[in-house]
């Protein structure tokens, strides 16, 4: 492992107030989103959609890295150009999701454990050969009555740390993604307490497993009230709570924090990220950026609907969200941006 190279890639992933584009939906998740819009759930439809995303003009102005899925990293444009070449030609670093999904955790009703460590060393070597320079692994933490349990938090944190160590050994920058879910009635305060406990446990395990913090990126949830919580806090309250939580739990050696969107609307995700950067950017040790999937892709997918004639309009919608999020990284996003699309 060359630590200098790893650190350079990690810094490049969050440089220049740009972010990451998550387009690593598993086949089943992608099919579910297609089914909701009446788009055929075929390999060719998924390939066409991913080509639409990756050929969006100007994407590299806002995006440093794209997270692909196993099927996607092996695919090509219709004209035969490999997706990995399309991405790198656009100045974007290719990355890959390497966990194999969250399964029910034995002995822990309603909780999940993420799998994918078996055989991971071999898969990482192949992904590096295919051109990937970073990876992603997502752990899922559910908030509810009596959960999350210590058992669930510790098992997921250890898996994240073992994954991260294997990635760095293979010369790949790990994105470490412990996601505390939005589903539930819990308050913002509860989400903060759970997120802080999860992050402290994750960093404890990363240290134990000898992961180089300068050569990784953290992908956490913003701290948010549960979707069905009667009290929905303001954008500024969410921004303050999220940054306070991260300052307590994330070491300064980590170069960047790239949020997942977790089911927030595109506008709210941009507004909250923006508020964090407006209020705190000059005082933070790490870059605060985005690694959204739904909050960046959803409008484009809804416009496309599988129709060739709608590709350009869908690409404009994707570029618009990418620009809004880059502005949010600079603290320059404003809701007026949603009115005048360029």
Task: List residues with catalytic annotation.
Answer: 177, 219
Q: Which is nearer to ligand 13P, 120 or 181 (CB)?
A: 181
Instruction: Verify binding: residue 50, ligand 13P, rule CB under 6 A.
Output: no
- What's the min distance (Å) between Cβ of 259 and ligand 13P? 8
Residue 320 touching ligand 13P (CB under 6 A): no
Please say which residue, 295 or 322, places its beta carbon nearer to ligand 13P: 295
Measured N-to-C along each axis, helices 294-304 and 43-54 cross at an angle, to the nearest 10 degrees, of: 110
- At 209, phi and psi to the nearest 5? -90, 10
Q: Which is nearer to ligand 13P, 205 or 261 (CB)?
A: 261
Nearer to ligand 13P, 35 or 107 (CB): 35
Strands 112-115 and 101-104: antiparallel
* Residue range at the interface with ligand 13P (CB under 6 A); choices 39-47, 49-57, 122-130, 291-299: 291-299
Name the nearest CA neighbour of 102 among 93, 90, 111, 94: 111
CA angle in degrees (0–180, nearest 5) for 25-274-177: 35
Span interacting with ligand 13P, options 26-34, 148-156, 234-242, 288-296, rule CB under 6 A: 288-296
In this structure, are residues 132 and 150 in contact, taking their beta carbons and an 8 Å threshold? no
Rounded to whole angstroms, the Cα distance separating 275 from 277 reads 5
Is residue 47 within 8 A of residue 39, CB to CB? The reply is no
In the complex with ligand 13P, the residue whose CB is nearer, 21 or 206, is 21
Tell me how far apart the alpha carbons of residues 249 and 324 are, in angstroms, rounded to a whole number: 28
Measured from the CB atom, is 205 or 293 closer to ligand 13P? 293
What are the b/e assignments for 156-167, b being 16+ CB within 10 Å?
bbbbbbbbbbbb
Question: Which of residues 143, 246, 295, 314 is near ligand 13P by CB under 6 A?
Answer: 295
- Smallest gap, in angstroms, from Cβ of residue 25 to ligand 13P? 8
162 touching ligand 13P, by CB under 6 A? no
The binder of ligand 13P chosen from 33, 294, 320, 326 (CB under 6 A): 294
| 293 is a site residue for ligand 13P (CB under 6 A) | yes
Binding mask 239-278 for ligand 13P (x = CB under 6 A): ---------------------xxx----------------
CA distance 17 to 331: 10
User: What is the smallest separation between the CB atom of 117 and ligand 13P, expressed in angstroms?
Assistant: 17
Site for ligand 13P in 8-27 (CB under 6 A): 22
Q: What is the DSSP track for 267-317?
A: HHHHHHHHHHHHHHGGG-SSEEEEEESHHHHHHHHHHHTT-GGGHHHHHHH
Where residue 314 falls (left for φ over 0; alpha for ψ -120 to 50; beta otherwise) is: alpha
| Per CB under 6 A, 138 contacts ligand 13P | yes
Say whether residue 156 binds ligand 13P (CB under 6 A): no
- The two tokens of residue 116 are 């994918």
* Site residues for ligand 13P per CB under 6 A: 22, 138, 177, 260-262, 292-295
């Amino acid at each position: 492992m060359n630590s200098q190279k790893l650190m350079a890639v990690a810094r490049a992933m969050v440089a220049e107030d740009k972010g990451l584009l998550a387009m690593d939906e598993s086949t089943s998740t992608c099919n579910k989103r297609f089914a909701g819009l009446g788009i055929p759930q075929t390999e060719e439809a998924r390939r066409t959609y991913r080509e639409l995303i990756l050929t969006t003009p100007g994407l590299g102005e806002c995006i440093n890295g794209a997270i692909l899925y196993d099927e996607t990293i092996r695919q090509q444009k219709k004209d035969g150009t490999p997706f990995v070449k399309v991405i790198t030609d656009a100045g974007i670093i290719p990355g890959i999701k390497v966990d194999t999904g969250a399964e029910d955790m034995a002995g822990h009703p309603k909780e999940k454990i993420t799998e994918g460590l078996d055989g991971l060393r071999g898969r990482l070597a192949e992904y590096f050969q295919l051109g990937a320079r970073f990876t992603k692994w997502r752990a899922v933490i559910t908030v509810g009555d009596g959960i999350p349990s210590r058992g669930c938090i510790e098992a997921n944190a250890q898996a994240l740390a073992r994954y991260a160590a294997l990635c760095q050994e293979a010369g790949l920058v790990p994105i470490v993604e412990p996601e505390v879910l939005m589903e539930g009635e819990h308050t913002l305060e509860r989400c903060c307490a759970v997120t802080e406990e999860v992050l402290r446990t994750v960093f404890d395990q990363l240290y134990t497993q000898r992961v180089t913090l300068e050569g990784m990126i953290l992908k956490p949830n913003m701290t948010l009230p549960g979707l069905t919580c009667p009290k929905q806090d303001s954008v500024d309250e969410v921004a303050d709570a999220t940054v306070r939580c991260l300052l307590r739990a994330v070491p300064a050696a980590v170069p960047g924090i790239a949020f997942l969107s977790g089911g927030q609307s595109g506008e709210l995700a941009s507004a909250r990220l923006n508020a964090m950067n407006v209020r705190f950017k000059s005082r933070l040790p790490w870059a605060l950026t985005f690694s959204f999937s739904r909050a960046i892709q959803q409008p484009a997918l809804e416009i496309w609907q599988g129709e060739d004639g709608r590709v350009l309009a869908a690409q404009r919608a994707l570029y618009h969200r990418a620009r809004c999020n880059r502005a949010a990284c600079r603290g320059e996003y404003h809701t007026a941006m949603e009115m005048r699309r360029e």
